[in-house]
Amino acid sequence: MVTIKDVAKHAGVALSTASYALSGSDKVSPKTRELVLQAAKELNYQKNGFAMDLKRKSTKTILLILSDLSGPYYSELIRGTQEVTLSNGFDLIACSSVGGADSTAYKFLQERRVDGAIVLDPNISEHLLRESAREGCPIVVMDRYVEGDFIMNVAADNVQGGYEATRYLIGQGHRDIAWIGGPSNSLGSQHRKEGYLKALQEEGIVNTKWMLVGNFTEEGGYHSTKVMLMQEERPTAIFYGNDEMAIGGYKALREFGLSVPEDVSIVGFDDIQVAEYLSPPLTTVRQPKYEMGTMAAHLVFQAMGGEYVNKSYKLKIELIERLSCQPPRLAPNRGKGMET
Amino acid sequence: MVTIKDVAKHAGVALSTASYALSGSDKVSPKTRELVLQAAKELNYQKNGFAMDLKRKSTKTILLILSDLSGPYYSELIRGTQEVTLSNGFDLIACSSVGGADSTAYKFLQERRVDGAIVLDPNISEHLLRESAREGCPIVVMDRYVEGDFIMNVAADNVQGGYEATRYLIGQGHRDIAWIGGPSNSLGSQHRKEGYLKALQEEGIVNTKWMLVGNFTEEGGYHSTKVMLMQEERPTAIFYGNDEMAIGGYKALREFGLSVPEDVSIVGFDDIQVAEYLSPPLTTVRQPKYEMGTMAAHLVFQAMGGEYVNKSYKLKIELIERLSCQPPRLAPNRGKGMET
DNA sequence: AAAACAAATCGAAACGTTTCGATAAATTTC
DNA sequence: GAAATTTATCGAAACGTTTCGATTTGTTTT
């Protein structure tokens, strides 16, 4: 392995001079710089980044931790963080928490390999976050709430989202509105449900029949929907915890011979790419993912600069009306399917 | 910043003993290990990963370079590489080439920050690849062909894919089959076209009218399709370079009052997630993305182990029949729209 | 031509680990 | 209970950089 030492020797200069030349300092004369660069090229010298970081005590990289490097959900968010990170002259790398305590995420956080992190991943424990966040490595946590020094939070206003979606359905005349939510460890899902309940409550609607949970996957939505449809009474509308579950719902409804939106209206959450191509196109709640991404990255850099920043941000969401909802066919069957 | 030195002092042992204790060596007695661990906890010690890598001369990390960290295309592929990487006890991090020569990808490759790389990104120059690949850092390049020491190639058999898709259309009775391809710097697109031409040629069909290029985006497919539809004569089928372009095509056709597949049959390429939800569901060519991902990762590890491996792999593709194709409405208008 | 100054180069000390070989302590063997 | 052996701890060197302060070289001023 050829090191800077070899380059220096080959160029006939001191190691330190070679270092200056290679890093483009103006302390070195043009001709020796040329000499060193030439030597480096001849020996095919490649600098060792770690040695550099070790000395410099900073890595100029931000880590983005996702629960699942794949997944349709993240695209826009990644784009946002990437743009901001790059324009600050930093690098962005992404990894997932797959593998638990042996995961890449743990390694990078614990071993101080980055200068900051953005975490969108319920699997990373609060403990690890608090332990890893520090001067020189601020952490932004998305879609959940974690308190601690050098920890900031960014989330969509899920309560508002749940509320608006439900009000929208109520506005169309629905009163029998089901909720099929995500896993209970998801704070986002909980908040959406909270907004949903708030809207129902305002209208004096009480629903104890149609509240199920799934696991944020198509599969989960499919099964929960089926379970619900096997009951005697059916809602006129279903509000899903996310779009992927709604897709599963479409499938289950079709199998039961029910059509969307004639028999049942559907609202999803997230506005993933597929949503607009479904048939019918899915009415859903869009999270400002790009903005969340840029916001998170900005916060990291502000915190690095030592600026005081608000610890917690909530971004507004937006209801996207498509064709999966319409007023219920019959006059709302008040009193049926509801209990006090 | 608390270092292992501080821990050692606090525990009243030598620096080296502390190191052994922390890394779980059995050279150290249980009670001193406890002592050191306790001290580390009290001081909130976090190890510095770089110093470790520097000494150990390996990072146990594989880098995945994508042209665009986001994008629907990659999900499965990432999943494949991730599984293999993890099960080999290595870490996987992903980054993009956004930013050109200042990009994260360049930095990680050039500065020897990883033990191997998988590259699916036309923007990374062959020069950089050859320069970076070396003993101790093999590189697998996907969807293109790069020769060099410690460089291997994995790709779907795009020629076969283009050929089968076209034969499928021909089998349904189509003879006026258009090609709307991706950018010319994409080897994949070129190969698909090659397969397409081969199939046409076997039937003695010559098409000079309906061959356009786009840029692999929905936008690109939309525009190219519009341009084509403004011509006097129209094909009875269109074969798109990828699914996203086909989606754009759907849109353009709709605007022209043409319906799929009644007026025009459509075949895409890639089988992205959306494909099956389009209306009509898109017939397309599936690349074995998961398999490509696992294959790439396996190759990296084999090369690390010094095993001799074939330099180049081609994986079989598969035609996914959905509802976007049917035999042309009229008897094939032989001779029309074709020239010799 | 000596003195004063600036520019270019050098040597050596860090950065925080791991690990080798040497020493000290504890255990076993005769 | 001394010698031989094992076990536990230690000191120091190394990994490949950057960077400070010192030295040398070259240029200007008197």
pLDDT for A38-47, tens place per residue?
A: 999 999 999 9
- What confidence score (pLDDT) does residue B331 get? 52
Residue B77 tokens read as 């592929």
Residue B82 to residue B310: CA distance in whole angstroms: 22
What are the residue ranges spanned by the domains of chain A? 4-47, 58-156+289-314, 158-286
**pLDDT of amino acid A38:** 95
Within 7 A of a protein CB, which nucleotides of strand D? 7-21
The answer to whether residue A152 scores a pLDDT higher than 80 is yes
Chain A: closest CA distance from residue B59 (Å): 10
Q: Give the architecture-level CATH label for domain B158-286.
A: 3-Layer(aba) Sandwich (3.40)
**Contact assignment for B69 to A96 by CB distance below 8 Å:** no
How many other C-beta atoms are found inside a 10 Å radius of the C-beta of residue B301? 18
DSSP letters spanning A131-180: HH-BTTB-EEEESS---STTEEEEEE-HHHHHHHHHHHHHHTT---EEEE
Average pLDDT, rounded, for chain A = 92
Q: CATH homologous superfamily for B57-155+289-314?
A: Response regulator (3.40.50.2300)
Distance from CA of B132 to the nearest CA of A (A): 8
A94: nearest CB among B1, B69, B98: B69
- Nearest nucleotide by C1' position to the B4 CA atom: C16
Four-residue CA torsion sign, B298, B303, B307, B309: positive
Query: Across all residues in chain B, what is the average pLDDT?
Result: 91
pLDDT at B317: 96
Which residue of A43, A77, A104, A108 to mutate against B (max B Cβ within 10 Å)? A104
The pLDDT score that the predictor gives to residue A32 is: 94
Residue A273 has pLDDT above 50, yes or no: yes
**Does A50 contact B48 at a Cβ distance shorter than 8 Å?**
no
Predicted pLDDT of residue A310: 76
Please report the pLDDT score of residue B71 as a whole number: 62
Give chain A positions within 8 Å (CB) of B98: 82, 86
Give me the CATH topology for the region A58-156+289-314: Rossmann fold (3.40.50)
Q: Is residue A141 predicted with pLDDT exceeding 60?
A: yes
Q: What is the pLDDT of residue B104?
A: 93
| CATH dotted code for B4-47 | 1.10.260.40
In angstroms, the CA of A13 and the C1' of D28 are apart by 27
Task: Sort out which chain B residues have CB atoms less than 8 A from A98's CB and list them.
Answer: 82, 86
- What's the confidence (pLDDT) of residue B318? 96
Question: Which single residue has its CA nearest the C1' atom of nucleotide D14?
Answer: B55
How large is the greatest C-alpha to C-alpha distance in chain A, in angstroms? 93
Q: What is the distance, to the nearest Å, from the Cα of residue A58 to the centroid of all Cα atoms in its chain?
A: 26
Residue reference for tokens 């969108």: A120
* φ, ψ (nearest 5 deg) of residue A279: -125, 115
Same fold, A4-47 and A58-156+289-314: no
Is the distance from CB of A271 to CB of A285 less than 8 angstroms?
Answer: yes
- Main-chain phi, psi angles of A5, to 5 degrees: -65, -45
pLDDT at A336 > cutoff 60: no
- Residues close to nucleic acid strand C (C-beta < 7 A): A 12-17, 20, 26-29, 31-32, 51, 54-55, 57; B 1, 3-5, 15-16, 19-20, 22-23, 45-48, 51-52, 54-56
B75 vs A contacts (CB less than 8 Å)? 70-72
% of residues, chain A, pLDDT over 90: 80
In the Cβ-directed half-sphere of A13, how many Cα atoms lie within 13 Å? 24
Q: CA–C1' distance A10–D26 (Å)? A: 25
How far CA A134 is from CA of A115, A119, B48, in Å, comes to 10, 15, 14
Residue nearest to nucleotide D7 (CA to C1'): B27
pLDDT at position B120 is: 93
For the stretch A86-135, pLDDT in tens is 999 999 999 999 888 888 999 999 999 999 999 999 889 999 999 999 98
Most B-contacting residue of A22, A83, A93 (CB-CB within 10 A), to test interface: A93
pLDDT of residue A71: 62
pLDDT exceeds cutoff 60 at B334: no
pLDDT tens for each residue of A57-71: 999 999 999 987 766
Higher pLDDT, B78 or B269: B269
Find the farthest-apart pair of alpha carbons in chain B and give their distance in angstroms, rounded: 92
Residues of chain A contacting B99 with CB distance shorter than 8 Å:
86
User: pLDDT band for position B338 (50/70/90)?
Assistant: very low
Subunit contact B112:A46, Cβ cutoff 8 A: yes
- Token pair, residue A278, equals 């479904």
| Better pLDDT: B27 or A71 | B27
Tokens of A113: 């390999």
User: B3, B59, B137: which is closest to A108 by C-alpha?
Assistant: B59
User: Which of A1, A52, A274 lies at the smallest CB-CB distance from B277?
Assistant: A274
> Is-contact A312 A153, C-beta < 8 A?
yes
Residue B328 CB-half CA count within 13 A: 19
The CB density around residue B207, as the number of other CB atoms within 10 Å, is 19
Contact B138, B300 (CB under 8 A): yes
| B151 vs A25, residue with greater confidence | B151
Task: Say how many C-beta atoms besides its own lie within 10 A of residue B194's C-beta.
Answer: 14
Nucleotides of C under 7 A from a protein CB: 7-12, 14-21
Give the nearest partner residue to A54 out of B54, B91, B111, using CB atoms: B54
Yes or no: say if B230 and B332 are a contact pair by the CB < 8 Å rule: no
The answer to whether A49 contacts B75, with C-beta atoms less than 8 Å apart, is: no
* Among A327-331, B48-52, B221-225, the least confident range: A327-331
Positive or negative, the CA dihedral A156, A250, B267, B284 is positive
Range B272-296 average pLDDT: 93
Torsion of CA A5, A8, A13, A16, to 10 degrees: -50
Please name the member of A50, A113, A273 whose beta carbon is closest to the beta carbon of B54.
A50
CA–CA distance, B23 with B33 (Å, rounded to integer): 10
Distance from CA of A75 to the nearest CA of B (A): 4
CA nearest to B44 within chain A? A131
Q: Which nucleotide is nearest to B23 (CA to C1')?
A: C18
Secondary-structure breakdown of chain B: helix, strand, coil percentages, each rounded to the nearest 5: 40, 15, 40
Per-residue confidence (pLDDT) for residue A332, from 0 to 100: 44
Of the residues A2, A68, A70, the best mutation for testing chain B's interface (the one with the most B CB atoms within 10 Å of its CB) is A70
Tokens 């409550």 found at = A201
Measured in angstroms, the CA of B161 and the nearest CA of chain A are apart by 25
pLDDT at residue B114 in the model: 95
CA dist., res. A178 & res. A236, Å (int): 8
Task: With H, G, I as helix, E, B as strand and everything else as coil, classify residue A119.
Answer: strand
Q: What is the pLDDT of residue B122?
A: 87
Cα dihedral: A302, A304, A307, A312 (round 10): 60
Least confident of A169-183, A187-201, B91-105, B234-248: B91-105
Report chain A's terminal Cα–Cα distance, integer Å. Answer: 77
Checking if the pLDDT of B336 tops 50, the result is: no
Q: CA at A207, C1' at D19: how many angstroms apart?
A: 70
pLDDT band at B339 (very low <50, low <70, confident <90, very high): very low
> Would you call B49 and A86 a contact, using CB atoms and an 8 Å cutoff?
no
Instruction: Could you list the beta-strand ranges (E) of chain A.
Output: 61-66, 91-96, 116-120, 139-142, 151-156, 177-181, 211-213, 237-240, 265-267, 284-286, 312-315, 318-320
Q: Is there a contact between B54 and A46 if contact means CB atoms under 8 Å apart?
A: no
Q: Cα separations (Å) of A273 from A172, B55, B176?
A: 26, 46, 32
Contacts of B49 in chain A (CB under 8 A): 107-108, 111-113
Cβ atoms of B339 and B301 within 8 Å: the answer is no
Residue–nucleotide distance: B27 CA to D4 C1' (Å): 21
Nearest residue on chain A to B132, alpha-carbon basis: A46
